[in-house]
Amino acid sequence: MNRILITGGTGFIGSHTCIALLSKGYDLFVIDSLKNSSKKSLEKIKEIFKKDNKDISSKLRFFEGDLKNKEFIENIFKKAQEDDNPIKGVIHFAGLKAVAESVSKPLLYWNNNVIGSYNLIKSMEKNDCQTIVFSSSATVYGNTSEDLLKEDSPLSPTNPYGTTKLSVENLLKDISQNGNWRIAILRYFNPIGAHKSGLIGENPLQKPNNIFPIIINSAFNKEKLKVFGNDWPTKDGTCIRDYIHVMDLAEGHLKSLNYLIENDPQLLTLNIGKGRGISVIELIKTFENVNNISVPFEFDERREGDVCQLVADNSKLKSILNWSPTKSLEEMCIDGWKWKNLNPKGYS
């Protein structure tokens, strides 16, 4: 079966995507520096399959290393060739993603996210592997007044994290002009939730900044979270986002990869979101209702650099992949809470 390289595969979205690909029989090489994750996520993935009497151990191989290290990546491609099963495609998740940290340490972000991606793409070209799915973000749209964002909406990231994502998009656009590249740039909206088993989930090693892990911690520890602003021009005054279940996002990667493999070389850019706007208060209330738990919160000032509304126009996703995310906000909240309760201290 086709071998796929997953960079950043022990992380939040990467680990859930491993499940989607393993379910379809793909053979995976996973690489990760473990800077923001634990390789225990891969043990949990094996456990999930074992519950269905499936042993996928030989199809999930892990190599610890950093994309900044060119030799390390070269060796991965060599190892695959030695097995007589060269890497057919790459799903590239590896990257740093903390917006505030990117503002204080822009060079760290350029080095890790841009140089790391450059090294990977260079090795891919050298080893005749020209299929890549790249993790981009709705953050590339920046401050916007558009109700629904289309892939051709103006791009204007407002922080170095976003600039590094757009730079890699541009690099991919440039290389797509020559050769036989099959490239999917996926702009994720707000992935939340966890695998329904509760065995894997979001396990940030740094203090979380995103709303969903903060809601979970607030419900668990009964510490008040701060809702950033209640004076936005929205139905309840709080910001609107487009939340998507992480397993739907994982499925989106599988569909995109299969689409690239089955079609002519091309550059495809897709928004991956549900296309439905949810306010911060709606998210908190849904979490409380479905889990029968309170989430203490208070209103605070608007967060610097925040955007009022980010919602995907996902019509291109639907028409090209013939697929769209299906899991409800309720499922996102139930699965995320289950993960926390089964793993109060994350992977242990």
Please say which residue, 111 or 230, places its beta carbon nearer to ligand NAD: 111
Catalytic residue among 109, 161, 188, 243: 161
Token pair for 201: 């989930």
Q: Which of 46, 63, 10 is nearest to 202 (CA)?
A: 10
- Residue 77's binding partner among ligand NAD, ligand UD1, none (Cβ under 5 to 8 angstroms by kind) is none
State the binding string over 288-317 for ligand UD1 (x if CB under 6 A, else -).
---------------x-xx---x-------
- Residue 2's binding partner among ligand UD1, ligand NAD, none (Cβ under 5 to 8 angstroms by kind) is none
Q: Determine the interface stretch with ligand NAD among 29-37, 123-131, 146-154, 323-331 (rule: CB under 6 A).
A: 29-37
**Ranges within 209-248 binding ligand NAD (CB under 6 A):** 210
Q: Which of 56, 94, 175, 321 binds ligand NAD (CB under 6 A)?
A: 94
Token pair for 37: 């994750």
Dist. CA 244–CA 302, nearest whole Å: 23
Sort 295 into a burial class: Cβ within 10 Å, 0-12 / 13-18 / 19+.
Answer: buried
Length of the chain: 348
The secondary structure of 120-165 as a DSSP string is: HHHHHHHTT--EEEEEEEGGGG-S---SSB-TTS----SSHHHHHH
- Residue 109's binding partner among ligand NAD, ligand UD1, none (Cβ under 5 to 8 angstroms by kind) is none
Q: Is the dihedral of CA 156, 162, 167, 170 positive or negative?
A: negative
Q: Under the criterion CB under 6 A, does residue 318 sit at the interface with ligand NAD?
A: no
**Ranges within 34-63 binding ligand NAD (CB under 6 A):** 34-37
Residue 161 a catalytic site member: yes
Residue with tokens 């917006």, as numbered in its chain? 99
Q: Determine the interface stretch with ligand UD1 among 45-53, 59-67, 78-86, 223-231 (rule: CB under 6 A).
A: 223-231
Please say which residue, 97 or 327, places its beta carbon nearer to ligand UD1: 97
Query: CA torsion 58→37→280→242, rounded to 10°?
Result: -40
Q: Under the criterion CB under 6 A, does residue 169 sit at the interface with ligand NAD?
A: no
Residues 6 or more apart from 282 whose CB is under 8 A from it?
236, 329
Token pair for 76: 């991965």
Q: How far is the CB of 9 from ligand NAD (least distance, A)?
A: 8
Q: Which of 152, 188, 166, 165 is nearest to 311 (CA)?
A: 188
> 3-state DSSP call for residue 63?
strand
Q: How far is the CB of 15 from ligand UD1 (least distance, A)?
A: 16
- Residue 225's binding partner among ligand UD1, ligand NAD, none (Cβ under 5 to 8 angstroms by kind) is ligand UD1
Q: Under the criterion CB under 6 A, does residue 343 sit at the interface with ligand NAD?
A: no
Catalytically active residues, by annotation = 161
Q: Which residues would be at the binding site for ligand UD1 (CB under 6 A)?
A: 97, 99, 137, 139, 161-162, 190, 209-211, 214, 225-228, 239, 241, 280, 303, 305-306, 310
